[in-house]
Amino acid sequence: MANSYSALGRWFEYLNDDCGYEQWSQYLIKTLKNAGAGAKGVDIGCGNGYFTRALIKAGYTVRGIDVSPQMLDKAQQISLKEGVRAEFLLGDITKLKLPAKVDFAVAINDCINYVPKEKLKSAFGKVYDCLKTGGAFIFDISSPNKLKNVLGNNLFAEDRDDVAYMWFNSLADDSVTMDITLFSKNADGTFSRFDERHVQYIHEEDDICTALKETGFTVRTEGHLGGTKEERINFICTRL
């Protein structure tokens, strides 16, 4: 079984083209402005770099960081194609270290769901150490309701001309294990099969807020795009 996003990494943004990236990025930019964030930041768990590129286009100076080399390779390709000068680095939020402190950090679309509960406070501490005093940290999680009742113990599939996948989920007490089989079209018209496993952890809102406050952040929460918290919860934090 391959590591997370070893195969899916090059297809991630393409297969999520129905998630409302444009509206989501505008919400993020507005939230950063309302938080009084400065110009320099880091996009943790940047994936194929959509939010990194959107922030750069909005005038911010942003590095993208992800644990998947395949994600970052595709992020660089898309950025070059769009004429966006972006820097992407291999890194993990639980080991985050930057050469200089930044004004803000974002971690969008489930990055924190990949962090086990026992490592949350340590991960938040790494982000805290990378921020200037008064710096903003904005991130989201898939809610317990989404992981338990929408994704857990369910099967999803999609078939496109150039790629297809089957996604099998298994719910445990504190996590969902996601086994994904992906078929990617080759230049000669044949398809190659890839299998990989993801584990997303179920985090309660109160547990995350407690870990953030113990780390030294102030925090407020709201739902996706400022709406309900049924499937996604946003955390808007400030380093004291």
> What whole-number distance in Å separates Cα of residue 238 and Cα of residue 46?
20
Please return the burial class of 50, using the count of CB atoms within 10 Å of its CB with bins 0-12, 13-18 and 19+. buried
The tokens of 127 are what? 């982000």
pLDDT of residue 3: 64
The tokens of 79 are what? 């950025």
pLDDT digits (tens, 9 = 90+) for 158-176: 999 999 999 999 999 999 9
pLDDT digits (tens, 9 = 90+) for 73-115: 999 999 999 999 999 999 999 999 999 999 999 999 999 999 9
Closest CA to 99 of 61, 56, 129, 122: 129
Q: E strands along the chain, which residues?
A: 40-44, 61-66, 87-90, 102-107, 131-142, 155-159, 163-171, 175-185, 191-201, 217-223, 232-239
2 pLDDT above the threshold of 70: no
Q: What is the pTM of this model?
A: 0.95
